[in-house]
Amino acid sequence: MTSPSVCIIGAGCSGFTTAKRLRDFGISYDCFEESDDVGGNWYFANPNGRSACYESLHIDTSTTRLQFEDFPTEGNWPHFPHHSLIHQYFRDYVDHFGLRDTITFNTSVRRAARTVDGSWEVTLHTGEIRHYDALVVANGHHWDPRVPQYPGRFDGTTLHSHEYRSPFSPVDMRGKRVIVVGMGNSGLDIASELSHRSIAEHVWVSARRGVWVLSKYRGGVPSDKMMMPAWIPKKLGLALSRRAIKKIVGNMEDYGLPKPDHEPLAAHPSVSIDFLAKAGSGDLTCVPEIARLDGDAVVCTDGTRVEADAIVFATGYRMNFPFFDDPALCPDENHRLPLFKRIINPGIDNLYYAGLAQASPTIVNLAEQQSKLIARHLAGHYELPSVPDMNETIRQDEEKHLGQYYATARHTIQIDFARYVKDLHNEVEAGEKRGRTKAAA
């Protein structure tokens, strides 16, 4: 079998770990990265404008759960490393496996389109056109900010958390009255940081619904080390986890937060080591969703009027593939893009989405596991199921992984990491068996 030519879009952790696996299998590839270095979202002040890193950012996943199995972290790493340590880890991975020279930096893909014969025509920002047998999409999904629209006018400063770098950049928040919109992880981090008494005059946190704020630690141990293993029935594991969370953190109302309208783990976890203490100390105040803007203030859905100088929207991101013209390759208006094992669009077996999932713990080793299927398929060692079988598997997988979450755009690509990886490994074995059966026929 002749090795296929492959184009990888992006050299964040999903792109370069896929490149490493393709190289292991002797598969030829070109990897294009818009920036001048690897790292993607974890490259602080990334010149391509795609990084959401702020100066104080630490990952919410513990070291033992984020490391690559092919390249373990050193033993002296902290539990929750700073973004600079993670970025250097990515650089070290790329250099250790000799991948840097295989990545074309400062080069973006402007268009990727299927040709009549099903191969890929890739247009670079230089205007150069190249042709490939297969395409790996690894451009990330935390770079296109989603900003809500409200009636009215706000006279102060607004920015999305994607632009936020520190309490002093790009906006000096000292002495300001600040509203942070959203209670995801970035919102909790930024609100906690700005609410320090030496920075903002006061911080209000506005959200559509209450959330369960979880601690990074449980009994002195990183909480994600205590996640239920895949062999425990999901219903039982979920019940045990929810009971433990309620016992450890108590009621959100006791901290001055709104009561969640859902059970713990029915949303992507909001994790913070500071937020509950800040709320309980009165350093920040939670208010309902914004109903309208009112000049020097916002008016919330309960009628509360909050005068403010700045609004920070920690309101998430859109999944965006600007190089695709074909809507069948992009999410629909409800933010859904059903994929077989969150990798393959049924019927298009030479297109792979790497890292397009939201997992607890993190995307780092998720992409590494996905690369095993991608490389084996490209090398001819793995045979896909039929399109109807893939569609049925997608239905079952979504029911399995999304069933515990309330319906919202942010949960369309959520997965249970341990169960996903177990299923993925089983699928790789099944696909290898299908391949051997087909070859023997």
pLDDT in tens, 154-208: 999 999 999 999 999 999 999 999 999 999 999 999 999 999 999 999 999 999 9
So what's the pLDDT on residue 74?
A: 82
Condensed to tens digits (0 to 9), the pLDDT of residues 212-260 reads: 999 998 888 888 887 888 889 989 999 999 999 999 999 999 999 999 9
Residue 433 pLDDT greater than 70, yes or no: yes
Domains of the chain, by residue range, sit at 5-144+317-440, 147-313
Strand ranges, E, within 232-381: 270-271, 284-287, 290-295, 297-300, 305-307, 310-313, 317-318, 351-353, 358-360
Residue 134 confidence (pLDDT): 98
- Summarize pLDDT for 282-335 with one digit per residue, the tens: 999 999 999 999 999 999 999 999 999 999 999 999 999 999 999 999 999 888
Residue type, 93: Y
Task: Report residue 407's pLDDT band, with 50, 70 and 90 as the boundaries.
Answer: confident
pLDDT tens column, 344-370: 999 999 999 999 998 876 778 899 999
For residues 431-439, give the mean pLDDT.
91
pLDDT of residue 194: 98
Task: Please give the pLDDT value at position 361.
Answer: 65
Kind of pairing, strands 290-295 and 297-300? antiparallel
Of 420, 417, 419, which is closest to residue 359 (Cα–Cα)?
417
389's tokens: 């079988």
pLDDT recorded at residue 406: 87
pTM of the complete model: 0.95
Label the pairing between strands 310-313 and 177-181.
Answer: parallel
Q: Which CATH number fits domain 5-144+317-440: 3.40.47.10, 3.50.50.60, 3.80.30.20, 1.10.150.120?
A: 3.50.50.60
Q: What is the pLDDT of residues 28-67, one digit of tens each?
A: 999 999 999 999 999 999 999 999 999 999 998 888 888 8
Same fold, 5-144+317-440 and 147-313: yes
**What CATH fold (topology level) applies to the domain 147-313?**
FAD/NAD(P)-binding domain (3.50.50)
Residue 439 has what pLDDT?
A: 84
Residue 148 has pLDDT above 80, yes or no: yes
List phi, psi (to 5°) of 159: -155, 155
Residue with tokens 């298009």: 348
